[in-house]
Amino acid sequence: MSFLLDADLDRLRIPGRRPPRFVEGLWRNTCFEVFLARKGSRAYREYNLAPSGEWAGYLFRKYRLRGDGRAPRPRIQVRRSDGTLKLDARIAAKGRLRVGLSAVIEEKNGGLSYWALRHAPGKPDFHYRRAFALEVA
């Protein structure tokens, strides 16, 4: 997966580089998210990928019901240049998948905006199954 943030980066709160490691709560700040589900299954995985290189990966049995263990570690590469931040993630997955891609962007004033290929009705909910809008083999 590749995410490209094209913005006035000086107005955003973007964490600095850190060693790659599992960190809870990354979705509270600037991060990119990937949701993966096998077609026809209620189970899915969620990945939070921070520009710091930190990550979180969760297994879910069904909508917001977390399973045991963690999703396999992704490989993350981050590059920043004038006005752009690019995050590439390699995530092991097999089969026909439904994919949800989203981002949480934090401004320096603390404001958050929520971006997705498809949004749930009402408040942001990236776990909403119809938001898994991309199908890949």
pLDDT of residue 137: 84
Q: What's the rounded mean pLDDT across residues 31-55?
A: 96
pLDDT of residue 7: 94
pLDDT tens profile 66-115: 999 999 999 999 999 988 999 999 999 988 999 999 999 999 999 999 99
Residue 21 near residue 15, CB atoms below 8 Å: no
The number of angstroms, rounded, from the C-alpha of 34 to the middle of its chain's C-alpha atoms is 4
Q: What's the rounded mean pLDDT across residues 32-49?
A: 96
Residue 43 has pLDDT above 90, yes or no: yes
Per-residue burial over 67-88, b = 16 or more CB atoms within 10 Å of its CB, e = otherwise: eeeebeebebebeeeeeebebe
What is the percent of the chain with per-residue pLDDT over 90, rounded to a whole number? 93
pLDDT of residue 49: 98
Domain-by-domain residue ranges, the chain?
2-136
pLDDT of residue 82: 85
User: What is the identity of the amino acid at 27?
Assistant: W
Distance between CA 19 and CA 30 in Å, rounded?
Answer: 17
pLDDT of residue 40: 87
